Amino acid sequence: MEKNISLDVTGMHCNSCAKIIQEGLLELEGVGKAEANYVDEKLSISFDSEKAPMDKIENKLNEMGYGIKGSKKVVSKKNTMLEGLFYGLVPHIGCIGFIVASVLGVTVAIELFRPLLMNPWFFHILILLSIGFATLSSAYYLRKNGLLSWKGVVRKKKYLAAMYGSTVGINLVLFLLIFPMLANLDTGSFQNTPTGAVVLDGGEDLATGNSIISLQVDIPCPGHAPLISGELKTIVGVTGVRYNFPNNFDVAFDSEKTSKDEILSLEVFEPYPATVTAEPAAAGTGSSEEVANFNQISEIEEVAPQEATGTTSCGNSCGGSCGTPSCGCSG
């Protein structure tokens, strides 16, 4: 018996899926016509129910990875979330390359990014560019599959949500986590101790004898930390740079080779002003604890000679008669 029915098909992701369904069903004996519409997720089919019963048609759809809406048969589905994540990564190929280059120590890539990072609006521009690339990628995908319409957007809302969500999420991970980590790949003299801790005394690292200043830099986001650290390390005499979230930098330097003024004169501090929050004590001064200990020692040294005056000292200067007025000892 010849039948003409329309079915709601699940699992179609593009026009190619519709063609696969049509070609696959037409291979079945008894199927005279099969037309699949990807946008509507509909299948119009004409078949001989004796030669090609519904179970046979549904089984064929299942074998190809598709199903009939409402059917209890479980069919494996393609993951549109992974597709969206893949396309969402495409706009970040440059940043991913920068990360790999930084980890491998390739300074050329960092130099290429330097002019971009010197722009205070770089983070915002990158977000807009990423969204722009994501939009172009989405439009290409929708057009390729005949879905470049509002109905198509609704049809692929999960894919688009994954696309834009991954685009924004990747930017946040890059600028709030990955790039700040790159800034501390090599902290120089701050790695002297097993834990990386530094014992300071009046702005000096007791382990190395280097002077240390702490800077608070007006960067738009933590993603600029590698730029600041890299620029500081270009100064001859700077032995270590350590970044602390969100915008603080400890700089260790040999005061015989460079100075605070030279450090603050870096070009990078023009777009991103730096404020000194801690610096070495002035020459001849020390910490308050040092001053207190010095005063205590001085008091002891002043009292000691008075307590030590007695017969022996007076005898040496007055011929042994401590009662002599000229001796000054009231014995």
Per-residue model confidence (pLDDT) at position 168: 79
The model carries a pTM of 0.54
Per-residue model confidence (pLDDT) at position 57: 87
Mean pLDDT of 265-277: 93
Average pLDDT, rounded, for the chain: 73
| Domain pair 2-68 / 188-278, same fold | yes
Per-residue model confidence (pLDDT) at position 288: 40
- Is the per-residue pLDDT at 251 higher than 90? yes
Per-residue model confidence (pLDDT) at position 129: 77
Per-residue model confidence (pLDDT) at position 307: 46
Give domain limits for the chain. Answer: 2-68, 82-182, 188-278
Q: Which residue has the tokens 């460079």?
A: 258
Per-residue model confidence (pLDDT) at position 90: 58
How far is residue 27 from each of residues 5, 20, 116, 151, measured CA to CA in Å?
A: 18, 11, 57, 31
Q: Where are the alpha helices (DSSP H) in 64-121?
A: 80-89, 93-104, 107-117
Q: Which of 106-120, 132-146, 182-196, 232-246 has the lowest mean pLDDT?
A: 106-120
- Is the per-residue pLDDT at 185 higher than 90? no
Check residue 174 and report its DSSP letter. Answer: I
d(C-alpha 81, C-alpha 234), whole Å: 44
Those residues whose C-beta lies under 8 Å from the C-beta of residue 240, and which sit 6 or more positions away, are 187, 188, 189, 190, 191, 210, 250, 251, 252
Please give the residue that has the higher pLDDT: either 44 or 75. 44
d(C-alpha 170, C-alpha 174), whole Å: 6
- The two three-digit tokens of residue 89, written as one number: 């990564």
pLDDT digits over 108-129, tens only? 555 666 777 777 787 777 778 7
Check residue 326 and report its DSSP letter. Answer: G
Q: Rounded to 5 degrees, what angle do the CA atoms 256, 270, 91 make?
A: 115
201 SS3 class? coil
Topology of the domain comprising 2-68: Alpha-Beta Plaits (3.30.70)
Task: Give first-to-last CA distance, the chain, whole Å.
Answer: 142
- Is the per-residue pLDDT at 285 higher than 50? no
User: Quick one: pLDDT band at residue 150, thresholds 50, 70, 90?
Assistant: confident
Per-residue model confidence (pLDDT) at position 76: 46
Check residue 281 and report its DSSP letter. Answer: P
- Is the per-residue pLDDT at 260 higher than 50? yes
CATH architecture assigned to 188-278: 2-Layer Sandwich (3.30)
